């Protein structure tokens, strides 16, 4: 059979995106089909560079083409990506170049929320996404230190308004609400200030184009957190918990809070899940077992994964070089990469469902 663009497209109609449950042709993910005698090349445009199924999709495409055209000598499947944007008018007004905004939240402090926010941001950037990170924890802004950043952002005049340039390290852009707060201001003042000034603050930063902007939220589920969750136009939230019962109760409260303001919970991450003794390799469940997974089942929010306790994770934070950057081949960094990819997939699924709902509504009306 002669190899044609149409024939290749037909073969690729049998390849599904396992997350989006549709074939790549229907999803408009196929581009630039080239046939040169019996050499074939095809571009696949994924919805995120951090796609956990990149290799599988690539292999499935190759297999489908081989099946229909056994005579093909060389099949090149080039994997590219274009991150889908969360359609939200408020977000577009405040953060015009930002496609998705994600809150990292926790019911209480000290569960590793900031550590996870930093490592997820760096992991997504290393996978090829454009990423920004905002330290919105007014109680204890810690992200600049964890990112090895000591300076303050530069301010410049852009026509009538003053703009701020985000700081940069490890390929991501960073801002902290801490830059707004006088270190000596009492915490009681920070709440109203934060929620009132956040919108302004966000639109005063020249972010440029970003695929993902990650917010390290203040811990807890009180008024300040609620106001922030309403103020920031969020694509979704991620809840960090530890396996302990008290921490899980707090995580439940966090989930309820986001439901109240109509922000979808994209997933649950369990931190400090277990410890593997480096000398014996024995696994210890220090804070219990299975809490995050049970919570995810109970609350019908995806479980994105569990991160073990490891001194290298803490040391990375203390010295300002996140473990996913410093020791990317370590087991712990690999776990965080896998969580980052699952999160990116959840965002793609949400955005794809939202587009469909919109089309359905348009067709009905
Ligand atoms: N998986 C982990 N293994 C070891 N230490 C961790 C881990 N996660 C967090 N830590 C450490 O625990 C402390 C609290 O983490 P942090 O990210 O600041 O929590 P939060 O932002 O929730 O208050 C920090 O010293 C951090 O380095
Ligand atoms: Mg923190």
Complete DSSP assignment for 223-255: HHHHHHHHHS--SEEEEEE-SSHHHHHHHHHHH
> Which string of b and e fits 146-164 if b means at least 16 CB within 10 Å?
bbebeeebeeeeeeeeeeb
Domain end among 81, 101, 129: 81
Does 272 lie in the same domain as 132?
A: yes
Task: Write the DSSP symbol of residue 177.
Answer: G
Ligand 1 mean position, distance from CA 142 (Å): 11
Number of domains in the chain: 2
**What is the rounded CA–CA span in Å between residue 137 and residue 219?**
7
Domain boundary among 26, 48, 81: 81
Atom of ligand 1 nearest to the CA of 272: 1
Q: Is residue 218 assigned to a domain?
A: yes
pLDDT, the chain, mean: 89
Residues 258 and 356 in one domain: yes
Establish if 337 belongs to a structural domain. yes
Model pLDDT for residues 118-170, shown as the tens digit of each residue:
999 999 999 999 999 999 888 878 899 999 998 888 888 888 888 999 999 99
**Could you give the C-alpha distances from 268 to 156, 202, 256, in angstroms and in order?**
39, 26, 13
Residues 169 and 266 in one domain: yes
What's the confidence (pLDDT) of residue 361?
Answer: 60
pTM for the model stands at 0.91
For residue 307, give the ligand nearest its CA.
Answer: 1
Instruction: Check whether residue 250 and residue 158 sit in a common domain.
Output: yes
Q: Are residues 104 and 248 in the same domain?
A: yes
Query: Would the pLDDT of 212 be above 90?
Result: yes
Ligand 1 atom showing the smallest separation from residue 216 Cα: 21
pLDDT at 127 (0 to 100): 97
Q: What does the pLDDT look like over 324-360, one tens digit per residue?
A: 999 999 999 999 999 999 999 999 999 988 766 665 6
Same domain, 143 and 223: yes
Q: In this structure, what CATH number is given to the domain that contains residue 15?
A: 3.30.300.130
Tell me: do 31 and 178 sit in the same domain: no
Say whether both 149 and 296 belong to one domain.
yes
Distance 219 CA to ligand 2 centre (A): 7
CB 102 within 8 A of CB 347: yes
> Does 271 share its domain with 124?
yes
CATH code: domain of residue 226: 3.40.50.300
Q: Is 189 found in the same domain as 53?
A: no
Domain that holds residue 292: 89-360
Question: Measured in angstroms, how far is the CA atom of residue 90 from the centroid of ligand 1?
Answer: 33
109: closest CA among 138, 132, 148, 144?
A: 138
Q: Tokens 């000591």 label which residue?
A: 150
Ligand 1 pocket by Cβ (under 6 Å): 106, 109-115, 142, 219, 271-272, 307, 309-310, 313-314, 317
Confidence category of residue 197, pLDDT binned at 50, 70, 90: low
**Is the domain of 75 the same as that of 100?**
no
Domain stops at, among 22, 52, 81? 81
Percentage of the chain exceeding pLDDT 90: 61
Ligand 1 atom nearest to 309, measured from its CA: 3
Report the run of H or E that residue 341 belongs to, with start and end: helix 331-364
Tell me how far the alpha carbon of residue 110 lies from the centroid of ligand 2, in angstroms.
Answer: 7
Establish if 279 belongs to a structural domain.
yes
Residue 122 included in any domain = yes
9 pLDDT tier (thresholds 50, 70, 90): very high
- C-alpha 167/C-alpha 186 separation (Å) is 26
Residue 365 lies in a domain: no
172 shares its domain with 118: yes
pLDDT value of position 231:
85
Task: Please report the atom of ligand 1 found closest to the CA of residue 110.
Answer: 23
Q: Is residue 343 part of a domain?
A: yes
CA distance 30 to 43: 6
């Amino acid at each position: 059979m002669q190899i044609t663009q149409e024939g290749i497209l037909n073969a690729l109609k049998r390849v599904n995106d396992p997350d989006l449950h549709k074939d790549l042709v229907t999803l408009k993910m196929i581009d630039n089909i080239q046939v040169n005698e019996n050499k074939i090349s095809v571009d696949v445009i994924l919805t995120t560079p951090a796609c956990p199924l990149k290799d599988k999709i690539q292999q499935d495409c190759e297999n489908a083409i081989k099946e229909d055209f056994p005579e093909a000598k060389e099949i090149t499947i080039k994997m590219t990506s274009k991150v889908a944007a969360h359609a939200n008018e408020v977000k577009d007004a405040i953060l015009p170049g930002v496609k998705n905004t994600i809150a990292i939240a926790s019911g209480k402090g000290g569960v590793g929320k900031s550590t996870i926010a930093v490592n997820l941001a760096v992991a997504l950037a290393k996978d090829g996404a454009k990423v920004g990170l905002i330290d919105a924890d007014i109680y204890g802004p810690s992200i600049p230190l964890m990112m090895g950043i000591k300076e303050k952002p530069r301010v410049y005049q852009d026509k009538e308004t003053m703009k701020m340039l985000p700081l940069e390290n490890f390929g991501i852009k960073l801002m902290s609400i801490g830059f707004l707060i006088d270190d000596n201001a009492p915490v009681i003042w920070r709440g109203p200030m934060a929620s009132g000034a956040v919108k302004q603050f966000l639109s005063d930063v020249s972010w440029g184009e970003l695929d993902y902007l990650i917010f390290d939220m203040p811990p807890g589920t009180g008024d300040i957190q609620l106001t922030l969750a309403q103020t920031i136009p969020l694509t979704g939230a991620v809840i960090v918990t530890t396996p302990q019962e008290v921490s899980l109760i707090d995580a439940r409260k966090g989930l309820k809070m986001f439901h109240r303001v109509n922000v979808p919970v994209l997933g649950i991450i369990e931190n400090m899940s277990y410890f593997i003794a480096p000398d014996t390799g024995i696994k210890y469940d220090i804070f219990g077992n299975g809490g995050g997974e049970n919570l995810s089942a109970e609350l019908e929010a995806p479980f994105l994964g569990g991160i073990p306790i490891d001194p290298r994770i803490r040391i990375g934070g203390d010295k300002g070089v996140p473990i996913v950057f410093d020791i990317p081949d370590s087991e712990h960094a690999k776990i965080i990469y896998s969580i980052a990819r699952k999160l990116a997939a959840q965002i793609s699924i949400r955005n794809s469902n939202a587009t469909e709902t919109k089309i359905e509504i348009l067709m009905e009306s």
